[in-house]
Structure formats: C-alpha cells, structure tokens
Amino acid sequence: MRHCQCVLYDLNIDMHEVFLLMGYKNNIPEKDVLSLVDKVYGEIDKICKPQYVYEVYNANVCDNVSIEINDKKFVTGKIITRYLRGMEKCCVFATTAGKEYEVYKKQLRETGEILEEFIADAIGSVIAEACVNSIAGELTTVAGYNCTYPYSPGYCNWKLTEQRMLFSLLPDMPCGITLTESCLMLPIKSTSGIIGIGRDIKQKVYACNICEMKNCYKRKEIRQ
C-alpha cells in the first residue's frame, strides 16, 4: 500500500486545466481574472494538504462488461472494460485535495465571495486529478508493464454504487475520505478509481465520442 501527502509544487498543477474548468476552453482569462486566480491559488497553496493512496492487485477482464480485482467482481460496462483488455494487475486509488481545502472553500461561500469560490472549485478539481497523475507516473516504473488511463465509478456507465466495493480494497477512510449514503466522496474534491496494468495493455484516449455523459468535464470536444 502506497500513501503520500503532497505539496502543490510537487504536483505540477496545470493552470490551463483550471482555466478549462472555468469555461475558458483554450483561452487565457482576462487580466483581472488572472490576478484573482493567482490570489486564490496562493491562499490554497498555504493550507492545502493533498493526499493519495493506492494498492496494486491481481486483476483480469471477465467478459465484455465486467472485471475482477482481487476476487471482487465489478461491472465496469462495455466502454471501460474494452480499454482494460490485457490487464493483469490493477491499481486501485483514492486521492483528495484535503479537508483544509474544503474548509477554505466553505469560508469563501459563507463570506459571499462567489467568484473566488468558483475559482477555488476549479483548482480543487485539478489538485485531485493531479494526484492521480502522480500515481500514474509512479506506475510507469513497473518494468515490462503498460498502464491504461484512470477510470472511475460514475463515468461511462460504471455505476457509482460500486464505489463502496472499490473502497473495500483500500484502508478504512483512505486519506480521510468517507462515502455518503449515495456513494459521493467527502471531502468533495476527491477521486477514486482504477488503472489497468499489463504487458499487453494499449493506452487509448477516452472514448468521448461514444460515451453518453455529455456534461463530463473530461470530454475532449470541449478542448477544441
């Protein structure tokens, strides 16, 4: 089991991803907005304690819609399962921007700083995803194996309710993350999911053209 607490500098936060989530697509925000982004980022940098945890298990694809990780069967759906073919092992992970970040964002909301809260929300999402990128970078050191992109419950027809079973493969309250009755994660800027590992894995881009989630922020169409 690998557990790591990071600082933002180590995560190489991509501000263009922040701008993307703010709705700017490939454009740069106006000067006054950029100044506000710098201010919010600086405040988050002082208090934020991002974390991630992961474990690698034996795994395999069962059929067209399901996989098995450490003898637990997940119905990941046709889209995700297809990209996991060739999987021999699977990294199960959880990441979070942390409770300190969530407290800061709540303070912005309570004081009515709506634009700052909006910016902080985008930064928090990118922090959680940057932790996933760090995990993926560590996995590339596994000699002789290739890795898929990360996939998470709630996307591409993988039911969010399987989040509980996924969490059973991680320590209790991984990185301080808890699940609500509806399987949402707290703190809010947290992610969980899997990365397939195998000698015959071929890393492919997300299948946005056939996924039914039109409002997913990962959709490649919004980058164009």
Assigned fold of 2-213: NADH Oxidase (3.40.109)
Give the model's confidence band at 203: pLDDT under 50 very low, under 70 low, under 90 confident, else very high.
low
Residue 53 one-letter amino acid: V
**Average pLDDT of the chain, as a whole number:** 90
Peptide bond into 174 cis (omega under 30): no
Q: How far apart are CA 212 and CA 152, in angstroms?
A: 15
pTM over 0.85: yes
Domain spans, the chain = 2-213
Q: Is the pLDDT of residue 215 over 60?
A: no
* pLDDT at residue number 216: 55
Q: Is the pLDDT of residue 223 over 60?
A: no
104: which 2 tokens? 């800061």
* pLDDT at residue number 213: 55
